[in-house]
Amino acid sequence: MKKGLIIVITMLMVPLTLGLSSPAGTKPPDTYVPVEETPEYYVLETLTIYNPEENQCDDSPLITANNSRIDLDKLRRNEIRWMALSRNLLKRWNGAFNYGDTVSLQSGDASIDGLWVINDNMNKRFKDRGDLLFHHDSRSTGIWKNVKISPAGRHI
């Protein structure tokens, strides 16, 4: 009987001494992994305008990087507000944003400030940049520095 009791007590004690079980409410040692906080906003060093033309895009300028088709009539009437970001800002390349995300843009220029949808990416040579899509009849030039963007719904 003593032998059986010793085996049962030993079986109950082994998990505790090996750290396999811990009392409720305590944190096992060395298991805390800090979670990187998402910034409230990102700063685009440069923001520019692009038009859906072969000399500014590629041989299919009406199709964006996420395969969205640009409706030129809607674009001309400013009914769509799409933008491209440099690859370092897109999740596909370990950035913070996905295609289809809506961002709030703050440049200090009321004509472009507001909500934009990310549907395109820029050439790989660019970093921390953005491009706003406009019909060439509406707008063909523009450059802004240190523009803030944040996920839609966050105030910057």
Chain segment 13-50, per-residue pLDDT in tens: 444 444 445 455 555 556 666 666 667 899 999 999 99
Q: Which two tokens stand for residue 145?
A: 């520095």
* pLDDT range class, residue 5, cuts 50, 70, 90: very low
- The more confidently predicted of residues 14 and 111 is 111
* Host H or E run for residue 50: strand 42-50
Q: What is the pTM of this model?
A: 0.74
- Say whether pLDDT at 1 is over 70: no
Q: What integer pLDDT is reported at residue 27 of this predicted model?
A: 55
The whole-number pLDDT of residue 61 equals 92
pLDDT digits 0-9 by tens, 80-101: 999 999 999 999 999 999 999 9
* Sequence-distant contacts of 90-93: CB under 8 A, at least 24 apart: 90/118, 90/121, 92/121
Structure tokens at 54: 């072969």
pLDDT band at 12 (very low <50, low <70, confident <90, very high): very low
Query: What are the residues whose beta carbons fall under 8 Å from the beta carbon of 107, sequence distance 6 or more?
Result: 47, 113, 144, 147, 148
